[in-house]
Chain A
Amino acid sequence: KNEVEQSPQNLTAQEGEFITINCSYSVGISALHWLQQHPGGGIVSLFMLSSGKKKHGRLIATINIQEKHSSLHITASHPRDSAVYICAAYGGTASKLTFGTGTRLQVTL
């Protein structure tokens, strides 16, 4: 069983829809990261959060430390949001991350 689980694995949405991607972890963490990877592209960090909620543009990330659960929300989705979204748990040792397997999102017109 992976220490970091994401759901769903694949997600298709129409432009304008509200999207939620979930991440559950079983390891003790001090922070959780959300990353974005475009097809054939590199990986960029979207958020790092250890409590509460963070917002950047149309993206919102929340975390519940007690329930060991985080969500990434995308409001008013757009085709350019199509990418793989990866959550990663930071355990505090040498800044090492444990990654989920990613959620592949496709947003259609």
Chain B
Amino acid sequence: DAGITQSPRHKVTETGTPVTLRCHQTENHRYMYWYRQDPGHGLRLIHYSYGVKDTDKGEVSDGYSVSRSKTEDFLLTLESATSSQTSVYFCATAGGTDTQYFGPGTRLTVL
């Protein structure tokens, strides 16, 4: 398995507060992704990165921003958290046109 860690693993926050989730990989994979997983929707792409400082939006990017200043780190920021952003967030990486490797997930609750 690719070495992918996510932090924090669990977080409870209040509406309106900023939140940053971190994804760290040790495999030197080019591509990194942030997904959210909600009942009835499956995994949905929030943002992805195809290299350092190269990012693009996914299908559910509103309210989220990302940054990738190093190959190994991909940060997801909720500038002002809302209850609709309560979800489980997964980071994934891929070296190229092959399988994606997933992190353990972060459970975020916005009260």
Q: Does A60 interact with chain B (Cβ within 8 Å)?
A: no
Digitize B71-98: 1 where CB-to-A-CB distance is under 8 Å, 0 elsewhere.
0000000000000000000101010111
Whether A95 contacts B102 by the Cβ 8 Å rule is no
| Interface locus among A10-18, A62-70, A73-81, A99-107 | A99-107
Whether A102 contacts B104 by the Cβ 8 Å rule is no
Q: Does A86 interact with chain B (Cβ within 8 Å)?
A: yes
Q: A94-B48, A95-B97 are in contact. Are A42 and B43 (CB under 8 A)?
A: no
Q: In the complex, what distance in Å separates the CA atom of A97 from the CA atom of B44?
A: 9
B contact residues, range: 20 to 34
Whether A96 contacts B102 by the Cβ 8 Å rule is no
A contact residues, range: 20 to 34
- By a CB distance below 8 angstroms, the chain B residues around A101 are 40-42
Whether B42 contacts A99 by the Cβ 8 Å rule is yes
Whether B44 contacts A42 by the Cβ 8 Å rule is no
- Mark B residues whose CB is within 8 Å of A: 1, 31, 33, 40-45, 48, 50, 56, 58, 90, 92, 94, 96-105
What are 14 A-B pairs at a CB distance below 8 A? A35-B102, A43-B43, A43-B102, A44-B1, A45-B99, A45-B100, A88-B43, A90-B97, A94-B56, A95-B31, A95-B94, A95-B97, A96-B33, A97-B43
